[in-house]
Amino acid sequence: MSDDIPSEFSGFIYEPSKEQEVVSIFFRILPHLDLPICIEEVRGEFPDCLAWIKSNGGYERLNIEFEIFSRNFLEHDHDEKECDLIVCWKDDWPECSVETLELKKELKDLEKELILKDEAKYKSQVWSKRDFLQKVDENYPEIFDLQEKIYRTLESRESVNIRTGKGSNPTYHFRIPSTDHKANLGIYANGRTWIGFKKLSDEGKRNLASALRNKLDINIDSEKDWTKGPHIGEDITKENIDKFLSIVSHSEGI
């Protein structure tokens, strides 16, 4: 690897395959962009970055979200009204209503040699059911049976809309029906999950949090738009998986 790096090069070897790398590239080239902003906070919840942009002699709030692909914003079920700028590596969502800054294009316009190779270290792809479960079987065989049962059960429910994930990390996500709105729940190959509450009513949030707490002894923060969900293999086990599937697939009236 080191033999491939020119002695005078200082930058990124590969194109970004993680949001953290998009953040790093953005701040690396920010001084060269026509974007007069001050950063207040970079955080681990939506929106990723709270900033201020110079306007009419003062400053206005600027909410920034970082993504590998701009369409990930849509797949993550973020609210376009709560974001002022999407900073991404590649813009693949032309109909997006949010202003988008495509870093790949900006680097080309700036003629900066910041990235050595025109490829990502970890290849991004759309994760079909077969590809997702194959990665689980290869890397996390101890939870393969649980993952397969969850996918198969959710797939069989007409009320659940499964959406394939896109990126370097094997994932998929699906809608959790509720009485009047829907939540979004994502599952990764390693068993980590997340729950998006943006389209879930306050009552729906409370009902879902209550069901997970009372029936599975799992506590989630229903006050946040996004929260860490139960971990497959730790919180979700062979003993309680049927109860979990009943809760998330709405058969218990959530």
pLDDT attached to residue 252:
45
Q: What is the pLDDT along the chain (254 residues), one digit of tens a residue?
A: 567 788 888 899 999 988 999 999 999 999 999 999 999 999 988 999 999 999 888 999 999 999 999 988 887 778 899 999 999 999 999 999 999 999 999 999 987 789 998 888 877 788 889 999 999 999 999 999 999 999 998 888 877 778 777 777 788 877 766 545 667 888 999 999 988 877 777 888 888 888 889 988 988 888 777 788 899 999 999 999 988 888 876 644 44
Identity of residue 181: H
Whole-prediction pTM value? 0.68
pLDDT attached to residue 253:
41
Backbone angle region of 65, left / alpha / beta, with phi > 0 → left and psi within -120 to 50 → alpha: beta
pLDDT attached to residue 247:
83
d(CA 58, CA 49): 19
* Cis peptide preceding 47, ω within 30 of 0: yes
C-alpha pair distances (Å), 67 with each of 50, 51, 70, 196, 251: 15, 17, 6, 16, 34
pLDDT attached to residue 227:
81
pLDDT attached to residue 180:
55
